[in-house]
Amino acid sequence: MPDIPEHLLRRSAEARAEALGVPLEQVLAEMGLTGEGETPPATLEEVTLPVQPANPDTTIPEDLRAREAAARQAAVDEFEAKATPAPPASPVVTGAPEEPAPVVEVPAPVVEEPAAVVEKPAAAAAAAAGSKIPEALLRRSAEAKAKATGRPVEEILAEMSGGAPAEPAPVVEVPAPVVEEPAAAAAVAAPPTGEPTAPAQAPAPDGDRTTTITAPPVAAPQGTPEGVRPQRLLTVVRAKAIQQVKAEPTDKVSVWPHLLLIEFVALLGVTAFLTVLSVILQAPLLDLANFNLTPNPSKAPWYFLGLQELLSYFDPQIGGVMVPTVVGLIGVMAIPYVDRNPSTKPSDRKFAIMFFTFFLVASATVTVLGVLFRGPGFNFSYPWSDGIWFDDLKDWISFE
Amino acid sequence: MADGDKTSLADRVGEVGERVRNSQAWESIFRPGSPFKKGYTDSPRNRSYVIMNNVLYHLHPVKVKRHGVRLSYTLCLGGLSFFLFILLTITGIFLMFYYRPTVPAAYADIEALSTSVAFGSLVRNMHRWGAHLMVLTVFLHMSRVFYHGAYKPPREFNWVVGVVLLLLTLLLSFTGYLLPWDQLALWAVTVGSNMAGFVPVFGDQVKFALLGGVEVTGSTLLRFYVLHVLFLPFIIVIFMAVHFWRVRKDGGISGPL
């Protein structure tokens, strides 16, 4: 199972619950999430259920057995559906299939039920050493075991790393005839010699999800209760996504219809605006170009009038070249490389905003000056008394 | 039609429509997920298909950040600049049918366009006002991007591309200014190109290259025409493609603030 973040799964479940009109808990359960969403219940039961009969005082109720069978079946089906059946003798298996121990557990985040675990200490130690289980996993397993049994972690760690023979308490030696049989059978048949120290618990207490790989059941041996399919626990591996998704999920909406609709309306609006404008206002067309008749004033297009304005104050080299290219072009292009402040919050970039606003206001001012307040000879004039000296605008504004 | 007759005209029209939408021809036109296809339902999958399976919409991602859809965030300025460019292309193509870039013909063609061509005056007006509007929207778009800090990494280079687009927009507008070949055009371009003459060291050469001579002449008209209808649109389309592509690749719309 890919490593989908808990809150995402939960959000998905909420959405589904809302869409289907079913309670959230039901959806969560279907998705394999418990209310707390820590561990898929199927795998949990798969680990805990076989050891249930280990308690001699417990007689298994019929419905419990049926539930167990169903859960097992579901887990196995799910596993087989993934089409990645773990080979029975995979390298991570701590016991070869021929090993007499019916349940071979790798020390890993799943808490073992001591009564059901049949360990050949020497073999287990060798396996632990040989299969190179990461230190962290071993430690977590030990911690979990310690929590379950109430013993110090160090003791269990030492036991796991080879000191096992000295520690008989949680490891139950099942009598020889029973050893031949798989877990459930063994648990039912064998009277446990040791006191089960704790009931089966949830896996790793730190909440990391684990995936339990079990070998598909071969055949129910004799003595297995009806509906109970024994399985061998091969190993417990940490669930890990194939793809490590780094991006944080963000609140998004579908472009269709949300954005496209807005865009469509905007396009229609602008088209309508432009059409109406073009019906009302005639584009200027003066007399035929005449090289011998210089209009007074001669004005550039409005977006260059700011420049023309600057030219009337400064030397052409400065106003006509330096300002537009150095300030207007190179300067503006360089903004992202000069402004190294990573924040986009307006309160963090007061200087940048002030600077750019100054630039905007200055350009707007010189442009408006050039368009409206320059008359014959490019001298200052007032549009309300001296008229508009800009042909594109003549139809727009009138002071008569 | 008798009262008892059950097939009304509306029914028949509906039937024909149904048959058309069931036809193979209709099916073949629209790709899966198109709202025009029969049986379209509003589902997350189809919402994705609408975008992915359409050559135009596919400029967009399937999903955008929620705040980016708010009108007050972008004011649609970038999109409107692009739309105005398309509008100017369409109206410009219309104008090209009636215009010859020669000194004896240019002015007369524009006059004839305004008086004797159906919608000629309207289209010319739209082209001119649309051009002014585009300069405005591009400039406002740049300001919007600045105030949102949307030029910051990883979008620095797209800001540079955007400034080039602004420059190209100004040049497109400027080269179009001359084409009517009236007094306004002639002298505005004379003033504008005189500014180009102030470029240090190469001033005269730049001006000569721009005008195709030492002053505005018929060859300037031809030069500006080709720049206006072919060269600059060609360049600006390339830069726009890069610009839009980088918007997507740099993580979509910036923000929220």
A177-223 pLDDT per residue, tens: 433 444 444 444 444 444 444 444 444 444 444 555 555 555 545 66
DSSP-derived secondary structure letter, A374: B
Average pLDDT over every residue of B95-111: 95
* Cross-chain Cβ contact A250/B65 below 8 Å: yes
* Cross-chain Cβ contact A259/B153 below 8 Å: no
What b/e string do you get for B165-193 counting C-beta neighbours within 10 Å, with b at 16 or more? bbbbbbbbbbbbbbbbbbbbbbbbbbbbb
B202 touches chain A (CB under 8 A): no
Does B7 reside within a domain? no
Best interface-test mutation with B: which of A252, A253, A256, A321 has the largest number of B CBs within 10 A? A256
Cis peptide before B154 (omega within 30 of 0): yes
Does B5 reside within a domain? no
Query: B119 and B52, same structural domain?
Result: no
Helices and strands, number each (H, E), in chain B:
13, 1
Please give the pLDDT value at position A399.
Answer: 58
Distance from CA of B7 to the nearest CA of A (A): 36
Q: Is A42 exposed, middle or buried (0-12, 13-18, 19+ CB in 10 A)?
A: buried
Q: Which of B62, B125, B195 sits opposite A278 (nearest CB)?
A: B125
Query: B87 and B31, same structural domain?
Result: no
How many CB contacts within 8 angstroms connect chain A with chain B?
Answer: 202
pLDDT (tens digit, 9 = 90+) per residue, B118-131? 999 999 999 999 99
Instruction: Report the chain A residue with the minimal C-alpha distance to residue B174.
Output: A301
Distance from CA of A2 to the nearest CA of B (A): 22
Please give the pLDDT value at position A125.
Answer: 44
pLDDT (tens digit, 9 = 90+) per residue, B6-64? 678 999 999 998 999 889 999 899 888 888 888 888 898 899 999 998 888 888 999 99
- Contact A116/A244 with Cβ under 8 angstroms? no
Q: Which of B124, B160, B200 sits opposite A333 (nearest CB)?
A: B160
- Choose between A52 and A340: higher pLDDT: A340
What share of chain B has pLDDT > 70, as a percent? 98
* Cross-chain Cβ contact A255/B64 below 8 Å: yes
* Cross-chain Cβ contact B200/A321 below 8 Å: yes
Query: B55 and B77, same structural domain?
Result: no
Work out the mean pLDDT of chain A and round it to a whole number: 69
Query: B207 and B85, same structural domain?
Result: yes
Q: Which of residues 116-135 of B touch A (CB under 8 A)?
A: 121-130, 132-133, 135
What share of chain A has pLDDT > 70, as a percent? 58
- Contact B68/B253 with Cβ under 8 angstroms? yes
Domain range summary for chain A, segments of one domain joined by +? 38-238, 254-283, 296-393
d(CA A36, CA A44): 14
* Cross-chain Cβ contact B188/A298 below 8 Å: yes
Query: B245 and B126, same structural domain?
Result: yes
* Cross-chain Cβ contact B129/A284 below 8 Å: no
Query: B145 and B41, same structural domain?
Result: no
**CB < 8 Å to B207, chain A:** none
Residues whose CB is less than 8 angstroms from the CB of residue B250 and which lie 6 or more positions away in sequence, other chains included: B154, B155, B158
Q: Which of A253, A290, A336 sits opposite B66 (nearest CB)?
A: A253
Please give the pLDDT value at position A198.
Answer: 41
Please give the pLDDT value at position A323.
Answer: 81
* pLDDT band at residue A84 under the 50/70/90 scheme: low
Query: B109 and B40, same structural domain?
Result: no
Q: Which of residues 52-71 of B touch A (CB under 8 A)?
A: 57, 60-69, 71
* Token representation of residue A329: 């072009």
* Cross-chain Cβ contact B170/A303 below 8 Å: yes
DSSP-derived secondary structure letter, B31: P
**CB < 8 Å to A361, chain B:** none
Closest CA to B81 of B239, B210, B256, B249: B239
ipTM value, please give it: 0.91
Query: B140 and B170, same structural domain?
Result: yes
* pLDDT band at residue B157 under the 50/70/90 scheme: very high
* Cross-chain Cβ contact B183/A289 below 8 Å: yes
Please give the pLDDT value at position A279.
Answer: 93
Please give the pLDDT value at position A116.
Answer: 41
Query: B145 and B173, same structural domain?
Result: yes
CATH code for the domain of B153: 1.20.810.10
Work out the mean pLDDT of chain B and round it to a whole number: 90
Does B25 reside within a domain? yes
A236 strand-pairing partners: A212
* Cross-chain Cβ contact A278/B83 below 8 Å: no
Does B224 reside within a domain? yes
The yes-or-no verdict on residue B233 having pLDDT over 90 is yes
pLDDT (tens digit, 9 = 90+) per residue, A123-169? 444 444 445 677 888 888 888 888 888 888 888 888 777 654 444 44
* Cross-chain Cβ contact B183/A392 below 8 Å: no
Does B8 reside within a domain? no
The yes-or-no verdict on residue A172 having pLDDT over 70 is no
The most confident of the ranges A24-33, A93-102, A247-256, B28-37 is B28-37
Q: Which of A286, A311, A317 sits opposite B183 (nearest CB)?
A: A286
Q: Which of B60, B76, B195 sits opposite A266 (nearest CB)?
A: B76
Please give the pLDDT value at position B56.
Answer: 87
Best interface-test mutation with A: which of B31, B37, B73, B182 has the largest number of A CBs within 10 A? B182
- Choose between A10 and B179: higher pLDDT: B179
Please give the pLDDT value at position A127.
Answer: 45
**CB < 8 Å to A16, chain B:** none
* Cross-chain Cβ contact B135/A303 below 8 Å: yes
Q: B243-251, long-range: CB within 8 Å, 24+ apart, which pairs? A: B243/B158, B243/B161, B243/B162, B243/B165, B244/B59, B244/B82, B246/B155, B246/B157, B246/B158, B246/B161, B247/B158, B248/B61, B250/B154, B250/B155, B250/B158, B251/B154, B251/B155
Query: B44 and B74, same structural domain?
Result: no
pLDDT (tens digit, 9 = 90+) per residue, A368-388? 998 888 888 888 888 888 888
Query: B134 and B85, same structural domain?
Result: yes
pLDDT (tens digit, 9 = 90+) per residue, A109-135? 444 444 444 444 444 444 444 456 778
* Cross-chain Cβ contact A281/B155 below 8 Å: no
- Provide the 3-class DSSP secondary structure of residue A210: strand
Please give the pLDDT value at position B4.
Answer: 54
Q: In which domain, by residue range, is B30 found?
A: 13-59
Query: B163 and B111, same structural domain?
Result: yes
Average pLDDT over every residue of B222-233: 96
Average pLDDT over every residue of A84-111: 43
* Token representation of residue B233: 């649109």
B205 touches chain A (CB under 8 A): no
- Provide the 3-class DSSP secondary structure of residue A212: strand
**CB < 8 Å to B126, chain A:** 274-275, 278
Number of structural domains, chain B?
Answer: 2
Distance from CA of B176 to the nearest CA of A (A): 11
Please give the pLDDT value at position B244.
Answer: 95
Least confident of A113-127, B25-39, B85-99, B136-150: A113-127
Q: Which of B64, B200, B255 sits opposite A259 (nearest CB)?
A: B64
